[in-house]
Structure 1
Amino acid sequence: MKIKKLVNSTLSAIVISAIISVCSINALDNYFKIFRTSGVDRYKTSVAVSKDTYNSSKSVIIASGEGFADALAGSQLSIAMDAPILLTGKYNLDPAVLDEINRLDAQSVYILGGENTISKNIEESLVGKNVFRIAGKDRYETCNKIIEETMKYGHYTNIVIVSGTSFPDALSSAAYLKASKSLLVLSDGTMPKFDKNLHAVAIGGENTLKLAGSNIPRIAGKNRYETAVQISSASSNLDASFGRNAVFVNGEKFVDSLPAVDFVNRKNASIILTPNHKYTYSDYKFVKELENLYVVGGENSISRTVVDWFEQKATQFKSGKPNKDSSVVEIDKTDNNEQTSTKKVVAQFLNGKEFGLSSGVGAWGSYLKFGPNLTITGVSNDRDMQNIYVCEFSGRFEAEKVNDSKYNLKLVEFNITSKTGTKKVTDYGIENYINKAIGIDKNDKYELYLPGTKTTDMPQGAIEWLRRKNSIRNILDKPVIYNVNEEQLFIHFVNY
């Protein structure tokens, strides 16, 4: 059972039915909003991104979803033409891609790469469209031909050089391409030939892009993830909107990441790379002005755990409590009183979050929501065939850190706020207000486990609750609160 919340002036308006839905709140709405776009595969993800970013387009670009080079070289053409990039396999165009081309009412289709990459069959399937193929003998020549086509749409004074054999830096460069109005050239590690009147910038370190003997400026971090952040910073320095919007993509696999260019183009979003299971970059200054975060790809591409980690740490930075390492919640070392600091950080993390405890069959449950300073409000209910037993409550916890993923919680204040002994007739039965809440008692001991916790480090009772709710994973992907005495688990409602 989950708790159905009806919007009224007080928590007493919350009632329970046999079939119940969750209404959850993103606790970070005060800082930035999160949107996830994905499809069942890379091709339908590209369609989903196009739908999220374009209502119509005169042109579309089709690139291979089986390799990255042509699609990334095509990012400059996508930006110049203001056209989405859709992905295809080698031999057949996914019907969803064709439907999207028609939805956009696109009249021109640009195919990137030769027939060994995208077959003639796909070209012939685009009946009634003006089809243009841009191709060279290899990725570098194809890129040069894409540059020629891009230059038809404006005057360029800048060029960005990226590796043609590694996708992350080329992908991340898209924001800088737009912000600086630059062309993009792929390099095999040697200095490419280009018009000397163009101002050149290399992206990526020398391990990725040697350019021996060259002294042109570089944008680079110690790895692909830091390089992406450096590009974001450089882009936002040129256009502040690139600091307000970011698109989160997998930095290890390109399959879902390629369509992210559409968010760069339409939302002025910087590209931020992440591993699938843990976001480890420690300097969150780049989120200072962040308003919208677009996540591209399903949970197999970017897990919910990663989004939670980023969400928590970025929020802590924006609220004035930046972290210095990869732990989810960290004590502020500038505070001489460790317990006071613990309370502040945990209170910041939990503020606005909602947790539910339920039997799973609609018989009983409790709901609570955290407010400032670890305060809570909530409602508990039980029922029989005719009666609903309701207890509304409020209270306040104190927190004590055990380790980076676990905190002990003590319920130091607890009050029954409903009028005990009263009754009310509702469509769901007779509500009887009682003075006993399920799973919440001042004498009980509680443990908070943060996202990233290994489930093997949790009590067996908590693991059984996760298994019962089909939420069991090797790594916890949402915060939970475990009542040690009653062996009951409150699970955070997640709304993305």
Structure 2
Amino acid sequence: MNKFVMSIISLLLVFSMLTPFQQVEASESKSYERIAGDNRIQTAIEISKEGWPKGVGHNQFGTKVVILARADVPADALAAASLVGKKDAPILLTYSDKLPEETLKEIERLKPEHIYILGGEKAISESIDKKLDDKGFIPIRIAGDDRFQTANWINIFSGGHLDSTDTAIIANGETIVDALSASSFSALNNIPIFLAKKR
């Protein structure tokens, strides 16, 4: 399975827990593989292991990247779908004020050069930048004053704002459902997702 799709599936699995949905019973003739952890942080790790079993490789820009997003508020992670596609990077999750040991262990296994940290210091504490720097990684923070500006900066880093098709996805930034639905299309086609308010 395409790594980009695998990373977006991680978003769907992790953040579907936050959104009510109608459960559909699968036919007995259908087969599927469940990739799961005990919580959303561990689920993201398990999917990273599935999609990047040998660690992250050099992408088209010659860099090895991991994306780190806040676990409890999904807006930044969802806006990063095109960044996933451009950078061939898994998304891992963290607490706002503390990097989980299991997430750090997975980062060390993946062996990235750069770690894109999504959101400002209220979203993810500066202490996490320092911890990653102390471990020999290069943390690069992508942030604006709010989720809407952060989404804009994410798209600048992904190069999606320069896409020759002049195509973009506009999603409601006050709820996750629309951005979630568009995330796989965004990643596979390198189309940026911009977040907007209802009015």
**TM-score, normalising length from structure 2?**
0.76
Match for 2:191: what amino acid? S
Deviation at 1:178, TM superposition (A): 3.3
1:156–1:94 CA distance, 2 compared to 1 (3 A): farther
Give secondary structure in 1 for the equivalent of 2:122: coil
Deviation at 1:51, TM superposition (A): 0.9
- Which residue does 2:142 correspond to in 1? 134
| Distance in 1 of aligned mates of 2:189 and 2:65 | 23
Give yes or no for contact 1:156–1:181 (8 Å, CA) kept in 2. Answer: no
Give secondary structure in 2 for the equivalent of 1:178: helix
For structure 2, the 5+ residue unaligned runs are 1-26, 57-63
- Which residue does 2:119 correspond to in 1? 113
Match for 1:177: what amino acid? S
1:134-186 deviations in Å (ceiling 9; x for gaps) = 11111111111111111179734210010001111101101221344311100
Q: How does 1:474-485 map to 2 (within 5 A)?
A: none
| Distance in 2 of aligned mates of 1:142 and 1:59 | 18
Higher Rg: 1
- Which residue does 1:42 correspond to in 2? 40
- Which residue does 1:150 correspond to in 2? 158
Structure showing the higher helix proportion among its residues:
2
Match for 2:175: what amino acid? S
Give yes or no for contact 1:81–1:153 (8 Å, CA) kept in 2. Answer: no
1:62 partnered with 2:68: yes
Among 49, 52, 60, the alignment partner of 1:51 is 49
Give yes or no for contact 2:142–2:153 (8 Å, CA) kept in 1. Answer: yes
Give secondary structure in 2 for the equivalent of 1:87: strand
| Distance in 2 of aligned mates of 1:153 and 1:163 | 18
Deviation at 1:68, TM superposition (A): 1.3
1:103–1:147 CA distance, 2 compared to 1 (3 A): same
How many residues end up aligned between the 2 structures?
162
Match for 1:47: what amino acid? I
1:97 partnered with 2:103: yes
Q: How does 1:13-412 map to 2 (within 5 A)?
A: 28=29, 32-55=30-53, 56-57=55-56, 58-126=64-132, 127-151=135-159, 155-157=163-165, 158-190=167-199
| Distance in 1 of aligned mates of 2:183 and 2:160 | 19
Higher relative contact order (CA 8 A, sep 6+): 2
Runs of 4 or more, structure 1, over 3 Å off, are 152-156, 178-181
Match for 1:161: what amino acid? I
1:176-218 deviations in Å (ceiling 9; x for gaps) = 213443111001124xxxxxxxxxxxxxxxxxxxxxxxxxxxx
Give yes or no for contact 2:116–2:139 (8 Å, CA) kept in 1. Answer: yes
| Distance in 2 of aligned mates of 1:178 and 1:76 | 4
Deviation at 1:116, TM superposition (A): 0.6
For the aligned residue pairs, the C-alpha RMSD in angstroms reads 1.9
Match for 1:71: what amino acid? A
Give yes or no for contact 2:66–2:107 (8 Å, CA) kept in 1. Answer: yes
Give secondary structure in 1 for the equivalent of 2:159: helix
| Distance in 2 of aligned mates of 1:136 and 1:65 | 18
1:78–1:165 CA distance, 2 compared to 1 (3 A): same
Give yes or no for contact 2:82–2:190 (8 Å, CA) kept in 1. Answer: no
- Which residue does 1:19 correspond to in 2? none
Match for 1:183: what amino acid? P
1:112–1:66 CA distance, 2 compared to 1 (3 A): same
Give secondary structure in 2 for the equivalent of 1:66: coil
- Which residue does 2:5 correspond to in 1? none
Give yes or no for contact 2:81–2:187 (8 Å, CA) kept in 1. Answer: no
